[in-house]
Amino acid sequence: MSDSHWSHVYPWQSDLWDSLIKRHQQQGLPHALMLTGVEGIGKHALALETARWLLCTRRIEQHANVACGECHSCRLWQAGNHPDFMECQPEDDSRQIRIDGVRKLNEFLMQTPQISRCQVVSLHPVEVLNGNAANALLKTLEEPPGESFLLLETERLGSVMPTIRSRCQRLTLATPSPQQSLDWMQANGCDPLVAEQALRMNQMAPIAALAWVQQQRHEQHNHWLQQLQQWSNGSLPLDAMVAIWKKDELTGILSWLGQLSADLMRAHMGADHSQLLEPAILGCFDASTLQPAKLIALHDRINSTLGQIQSGASYFNRQLLLESLMIEWQTLVTNPGRD
């Protein structure tokens, strides 16, 4: 098989792609498929390629396991203007999918396909459907109208309503092997050492890791670490510190702080540079004097806050949240001996 055969799926997805196609050709894909897996392994790319293939009007006569790229459907797809495809995702800053979005989806599926033999909806991420929106989707999941496919994606399966989860068939995308990810990142111009750190920082997910490198997250982290150290030793006042951090993406800061506190915990238990996500932290803080209980409490608080924000919670006051986290952090690093 030529390389171009897989042109639209990532190299680590080729087996999964093959089995997906075979399954559809033998017994038909389920109407609702939930793609799960960590961020940055290509769930959305796979969903889009599946949609393109399902919609392609020549694939059946050609018995093709890749969309032809030439039929009317494929050309409309290429132009980003396919009448039988719809994407449903958060439309505003609330990061939630609201009932209006699901109503549009339901109305779309009530129509008959215009070009292709079926209609396809890509909905992501599932966990940000608010209660009303989720309820409005249930009936469609139970009795999908006509020939239609819903491709849903989630990184947080535990946050998806059980009623939604139980009505979808799950497709779990495994994280590629470290070597596969490293090869792919190097082929995309990454230095191997940088690629290794980027993978560790991104749950071993190659696409997230490559974006991390390209967005120079490493430099950003160095700035944050410097500022955190200055705040901890009193050379940067709280309001100045929060004013800087408020401009950065909150989920980025929280996930970094979560990793940092996990690193401090590992260092406290004797881990060395090579076992840490952010080894530079050892030069900034003395992990041996920290109190594990406080550290765990802070780590849990950061992660649960992050989870809530990623699930669409919008009630956090960015300034107050950062201030209180920073105060908690300072107590941790400056009063190590006391409780």
- For Zn ion, the binding residues (CB under 5 A) are 56, 58, 67-68, 71, 74
Q: Please report the DSSP string for 164-206 in residue order.
A: HHTTSEEEEPPPPPHHHHHHHHHHTT--HHHHHHHHHHTTT-H
CB of 68 to Zn ion, least distance (A): 3
Please report which residue ranges of the chain form alpha helices under DSSP H: 14-27, 43-55, 59-62, 72-78, 99-110, 131-142, 162-165, 178-187, 192-201, 206-214, 217-232, 238-245, 250-268, 292-310, 318-334
Task: Report yes or no: 235 and 226 within 8 Å, Cβ to Cβ.
Answer: no
* 58/103 with CB nearer Zn ion: 58
Would you call 118 helix, strand, or coil by DSSP? coil
Residue 141 tokens read as: 């999941």
* 66/133 with CB nearer Zn ion: 66
Q: Which of 182, 192, 150, 155 is nearest to 167 (CA)?
A: 150
CB of 51 to Zn ion, least distance (A): 12
Question: Using CA atoms, how far apart are residues 37 and 204, in angstroms rounded to an integer?
Answer: 11
* 73/154 with CB nearer Zn ion: 73
CB of 277 to Zn ion, least distance (A): 44
* 67/333 with CB nearer Zn ion: 67
* 67/209 with CB nearer Zn ion: 67
Backbone phi, psi, residue 154, to 5°: -150, 145
CB of 88 to Zn ion, least distance (A): 23
CB of 28 to Zn ion, least distance (A): 19
Residue 23 tokens read as: 């399954």
* 117/246 with CB nearer Zn ion: 117
Q: What is the CA radius of gyration of the chain?
A: 23
CB of 84 to Zn ion, least distance (A): 12
CB of 72 to Zn ion, least distance (A): 8
* 56/225 with CB nearer Zn ion: 56
Question: Using CA atoms, how far apart are residues 111 and 104, in angstroms rounded to an integer?
Answer: 11
Side-chain-facing half-sphere of 246: CA atoms under 13 Å: 13
CB of 116 to Zn ion, least distance (A): 9
* 44/117 with CB nearer Zn ion: 117
Task: Output the CA angle 208-74-91, nearest 5 degrees.
Answer: 50
